[in-house]
Chain A
């Protein structure tokens, strides 16, 4: 199975900050990677798919990049509604594993 690691696991930031989260895969996954945002008690929300394609309706402050084994999710200017946990998921091969998550908290 493909393992995903995320760094950092926890991030404290302020409104307006630029935030970058990294996801690394244990083997190459081409660009078959998604990023999700999840708030407590609510289902995950798709932000980015195919590593860099912004899902419809998602603010352009979110962007994704990378291919192969290293990927990044960037929030260009953190807004109050962006405080949440972020997960990456690989869809290169079954099982479609998720990363452990990165919690973004208010500084």
Chain B
């Protein structure tokens, strides 16, 4: 079955760290850009970061630059998001997404995980 499964969410204190994981199955993980998108409780979607197939290109939204790091291990079909110096405003459900629908030079997020909740609170 083609799917993405996130893990690693939980409650963390402000200033703390957390590492999210996303395990892919049912497709050739190494062939796709991958990304993280988050959604604060009751709010809209926010694109967080993405990474290219080989892991050599990373892009981030400004609000997480210098604090979050996206990475992947293709041999393990896994995507990661290392989150440091967490703030209350980072509280959200974090979705892992595959960029698999292609048109021109852009890849659109066609497969999403169920998400993992990160709560930053003292």
Residues on A lying within 8 angstroms of B by beta carbon are 1, 31-32, 34, 36, 38, 42-46, 49-50, 53, 55, 87, 89, 91, 94-101
In the complex, 7 of the A-B residue pairs with CB atoms within 8 angstroms, ordered by the A residue number, are: A36-B45, A43-B115, A50-B104, A87-B45, A89-B109, A96-B47, A101-B44
Are B103 and A50 within 8 A (Cβ)?
A: yes
Please tell me the size bucket of the interface on B: 20 to 34
Task: Determine if B44 and A46 form an interchain contact, defined as CB atoms under 8 angstroms apart.
Answer: no
| Number of CB contacts from chain A to chain B under 8 A | 64
**Closest chain B residue to A53 by CB distance?**
B103
- Where chain B touches its partner, the secondary structure class is strand
Residues in B with CB closer than 8 Å to A91 are 106-108
- Max chain A C-beta neighbours (<10 A), residue from B35, B45, B108: B108
Enumerate chain A residues within 8 angstroms of B62, measured Cβ to Cβ: 1, 95
Chain B interfacial positions (CB closer than 8 Å to A):
35, 37, 44-47, 50, 59-62, 95, 101, 103-104, 106-110, 112-115
Chain A, interface SS category: loop
A94 touches B59 (CB 8 A): yes
- Given known A34-B108, A43-B113, contact A95–B47 (CB-CB < 8 A): yes
Q: In the complex the two chains form, is A95's CB within 8 Å of B109's CB?
A: no
